[in-house]
A and B are shown apart, each in its own frame.
Chain A
Amino acid sequence: MNRRLYGALGLSALTAMLVALYMVFVWVPTEADQGIVQRIFYFHVPCAWVAFASFGLVAIAGIFYLWMGAQIWDDLGYAAVEIGMLFCTLVLITGSLWAKPIWGTWWTWDSRLTTTFVLWLMYGGYLMLRTIADDTQQIARFAAVIGIVAALDVPVVIVSVRLWRTIHPAVLVTRQGGHGLEDPRMVVTLLVSLAAFTLLFAWLLLLRFSELRMRTRLAALAREIALARFRAGAA
């Protein structure tokens, strides 16, 4: 049903990604303080954006699932959590790679880092629940509950960690602590990269979501056939 849509989405994601790659590696000037390493930025930030958007979507899908009970919301939440985990992992990895040369350490318990890591752990647990258990209806309800609770937890983690210490640059597109984007080309590159990752996110989500929808419909069909067979046998 969606074949044309995700064909178009996939193609535009690919194109945008190629443009973004060209801009990041060729077009954008190298940042003065940090040198070549700073180019990780154009992947790191979009990954974070996709991860947070996915986890937000998980919570929204959870609320709608508990409210309406339609399988479609569960499928959406499941698809989103997987993509969120993937990009959250990428954020942690690219962040570590960037932190080593700049901060001189792979990891520090700074507020942004701790929050992201806790997020990763929470949705890791959520994903474990989905992979370990089998009863779909019940697990869908549990998953929705955990998705909502996890989303509630995030602001509290952020507040409690804020009181701690922080070295992660807080504001992105301002001139602060040498992390400002002094060249307008940097801003453009970041925006293109964000757009490319958003398209990739939409494409992946649609792909996984349609697959889960198909699985749901197959299960319903299988039930129908089994029921029909049973009735035929009884008659």
Chain B
Amino acid sequence: MNAFLAILRKDLILELRGGRSTTALVSLALLVLVVLTFALDRTAGGGPATAAGALWIALVFAGMLGATRVMVAEHENGCLRALLLSPVDRAILYAAKLTASTTFMIAAALAATIMAMLFFNLEFSDSLVTLAIALILGALGFSALATLLAAISIRARGGELLLPLLIVPLFVPALIAGVKASAAALSGAPLAAAREWVGILVAFDVLFIAAGYLLFEHVVGEE
């Protein structure tokens, strides 16, 4: 637990001082939203469904950037090797990296949600709780996958190219569920309406956090 907190604290302090990841994540999420507001026909009555889709696309793009940052920073300075040499359980390392990456993604999701509501002329309603739940679960699930796969992509030649090809198809179920739940939330439906979708998100998160937790050791290997 101490090791977990130490690694997490280090990542958060790094972020608070430099702030590169979150700034990049938020900026990218906003840019994607701006592009989508122009690309999509907002007047055609897409409404909440379109906004939910745009929001999740922004989240996926931001996540792709953020997840690699958390691992790349370690890799670049040779810190990953030092971390692996220290007597820290690889699963703890995974959990810490996952938490850090999820935190940054939630920050990006928050900014993106506010902007999406403005861009798509959505009203703030009580069902924002559903939206928040969906986005947090989505960020967690994405990070669970991305932390595992980023550890692969920073080591394989041509890996950065590969990362989106690996993450996006794997993330599809969470994406479907997340978009559906968010669309329900944005159209003012109560939490019960999105229960099934939220259930899928929870199942996805549990499954892939467990998988990442168990498999991370094999990815970072003996080095």
Contact = CB atoms under 8 A, between A and B. Distances in A.
Given A129-B166, A156-B200, A144 B173 contact: no
B221 A141 contact: yes
Nearest to A126: B166
Interface residues on B, range: 20 to 34
Interface string B198-223: 00100110011001000100110100
A225 interface: no
A132 interface: yes
Contact of B169 (A118, A134, A144): A118
Nearest to A149: B211
Contact of B152 (A66, A124, A142, A164): A142
B148 A145 contact: yes
Instruction: Give the secondary structure class of B's interface.
Output: helix
B176 A161 contact: yes
A110 interface: no
Contacts of A126: 166
Contacts of B169: 118, 121-122, 124-125, 153
B155 interface: yes
Interface string B147-178: 01100100111110110011011101110110
Contact of B156 (A118, A121, A129, A144): A129
B173 A156 contact: yes
Given A144-B218, A145-B218, A146-B166, A159 B200 contact: yes
B197 interface: yes
A136 B109 CA distance: 38
A121 B168 contact: yes
A129 B219 contact: no
Given A148-B215, A150-B170, A160 B176 contact: yes
A102 B219 CA distance: 46
A157 interface: yes
B170 A153 contact: yes
A135 B221 CA distance: 13
B123 interface: no
